[in-house]
Amino acid sequence: MSLREIIHIMTLTTAPTLLKEDQALSLIESVIKQSTAEGVFVSLNNSSSALSRFSENQISQNISKNRFQLTITSYFGKRCASASTTQNSPEAIMETIQRSENLARFAPEDPEWVPLLPPQTYESRTPAFDSETASLSPLSRGEMVRQVCTLSRNAGVNGSGALSTSASVTAVGNSLGLIAHNRATEADFSFTARINSGSNWTHRTAFANSQLPLIEMTTQVIERAKMSVNPQKIPPGTYPVVFDAAAVSSLIPWVIWNLDARAADEGRSFMSRMNEKRQPMGNRVGESMFYTLVEVVINAAHPLLQSGTFFRDGMKNEYLEVIKKGIPQTLSYSRYWAQNQGKEATGAMYPIVMRGSEESLEDLIKGTERGILVSRAWYVNCVNPRTLEVTGMTRDGTFWLEDGKIAYPIKNLRFNQSLPEMLKNVEAVSQVQRFGSTLVPGMRVSAFNFSSVSDSI
């Protein structure tokens, strides 16, 4: 089907029909009043999302979805159970309340039970909600994709990817009086250009569609795809590496996800401190573990994010220093483990914000005498949580660097690398970019281990 035919059958849309704040909070309060449990926690998510996929330089799929989900967790002493519904009728909600309560009465006691959260004091800020993004029509989205496809076609490359937008409302409440509401928008663009044996890829996220530089991103990917044709083979080994920010976004979260206090205290983490008998004796918070340029915070209020003020369980999402000048400042404490250890619960470790600089990726390349440019780290998985060694592959544009310039494309490589060791070898970082709920810079490291060559493109 041609783009013209697809656009012809598209329906123009207005702003999505989402629950307003008073409606969402009233629904939460109504469920709490109807509950007969000793305690109850209610979470609500209402969203509207749309996505346009394209391949072979033309739109291939349009999807739109409206979603409503209400989850009710009932408590009887240390017994609890949850039930959910995707219907918002009074009958469906009452049935869900009863189902949750019936399950909770027969559930085993939770050995890691914690009491319901008391009312929280959240940051007095309003998360970003862009009306234009929330009401972007299929026609407008299709026109943006058409520009990308036209650039690809005119350049002689095969372009594929996706452009999506979403608007959402989230609310939580419990029988102790906790109540909270957020709403947000998000736009996301990914693009791959392929030509013969070469390819390149990029990805970016923003809270407003207008913040995605689609033309600039597309043009750069097309140029890099052309440069990646006919890659040469180099032997595996340890090399200096410049990572594009998109590649860093697949690596750094593994470090933050593994900053779990319980795993560290029980000897299951790279953050565990062990005695001579290899028995756990606390954690490594406060130790100098990485290069001083490595700094990470949890900061939902960052200008590029402006995301929610609370986590899914109702805990407040506030600024938190995680790594400062290469030194871990804290670990992630669940409410149970914080209670067990006499610590303060931190909530989940997101959104991740890594410190960058004013330098560009090109500046990092210019400072490299010899090394490898990695555009994308793909299929990354943990091999050993005790050392936080991960494995994965380069993909969509891997290049040999020489005298501060891209010299020629090289075949993709599989890597096996301890991420804490990698962060000891950071030499420079570039400007930060947003990928999902993560902000990271590009990065240059003096040593990174590649274990084998891959014929994939």
pLDDT digits (tens, 9 = 90+) for 380-432: 999 999 999 999 999 999 999 999 999 999 999 999 999 999 999 999 999 99
Is the pLDDT at 11 greater than 60, yes or no? Answer: no
Confidence band for 3, pLDDT divided at 50, 70 and 90: very low
The percent of residues in the chain predicted with pLDDT above 70, rounded, is 96
Which runs of E-coded beta strand occur in 315-376?
Answer: 320-324, 327-328, 352-354, 370-374
Could you report the per-residue pLDDT of 99-136, keeping only the tens digit for each?
A: 999 999 999 999 999 999 999 999 999 999 999 999 99
Could you report the per-residue pLDDT of 233-276, keeping only the tens digit for each?
A: 999 999 999 999 999 999 999 999 999 999 999 999 999 998 88
Q: Quick one: fold of 3-216? A: PmbA/TldD fold (3.30.2290)
Neighbours of 223 (CB within 10 A): 14
As a residue count, the chain comes to: 457
Is the pLDDT at 17 greater than 90, yes or no? Answer: no
* Sign of the alpha-carbon dihedral angle for 336, 337, 340, 343: negative
Could you tell me the end-to-end alpha-carbon distance of the chain, in angstroms, rounded to an integer? 28
Q: Is 298 exposed, middle or buried (0-12, 13-18, 19+ CB in 10 A)?
A: buried
| CATH 3.30.2290.10 residue window(s) in the chain | 3-216
Confidence band for 13, pLDDT divided at 50, 70 and 90: very low
What gap in Å lies between CA 307 and CA 111, rounded to an integer?
33
Is the pLDDT at 196 greater than 90, yes or no? Answer: yes
Asked if 134 and 187 touch (Cβ cutoff 8 Å), the reply is no
**What's the pLDDT score for residue 313?**
95
Contacts of 356 (CB under 8 A, 6+ apart): 429, 430, 431, 432, 439, 440, 441
Is the pLDDT at 15 greater than 70, yes or no? Answer: no
Q: What's the whole-number average pLDDT of the chain?
A: 95
Average pLDDT over residues 312-332: 97
**What's the pLDDT score for residue 318?**
95
Helix pair 138-155, 214-227: axis angle to 10 deg: 30
**What's the pLDDT score for residue 346?**
95
Average pLDDT over residues 365-384: 97
**What's the pLDDT score for residue 275?**
87
Is the pLDDT at 455 greater than 90, yes or no? Answer: no
Asked if 412 and 425 touch (Cβ cutoff 8 Å), the reply is no
**What's the pLDDT score for residue 438?**
98
Pairing assessment for the beta strands 237-243 and 370-374 based on DSSP bridges = parallel
Residue 304 zone, left/alpha/beta (φ > 0; ψ -120 to 50; rest) = alpha
* Sign of the alpha-carbon dihedral angle for 23, 27, 28, 29: positive
**H/E element holding 179?**
strand 179-195
**What's the pLDDT score for residue 16?**
64
Is the pLDDT at 151 greater than 50, yes or no? Answer: yes
Is the pLDDT at 91 greater than 70, yes or no? Answer: yes
Asked if 321 and 299 touch (Cβ cutoff 8 Å), the reply is no
Asked if 380 and 388 touch (Cβ cutoff 8 Å), the reply is no
Q: Give whole-number Cα distances, 175 to 308, 312, 327, in Å.
A: 22, 16, 40
What gap in Å lies between CA 313 and CA 294, rounded to an integer?
30
- Nearest Cα to Cα of residue 446 among 320, 293, 285, 217: 293
**What's the pLDDT score for residue 369?**
97
The pTM score is: 0.93
Q: Which residue has the tokens 């909270």?
A: 180
Q: Enumerate the H helices of 162-239 as residue ranges.
A: 214-227
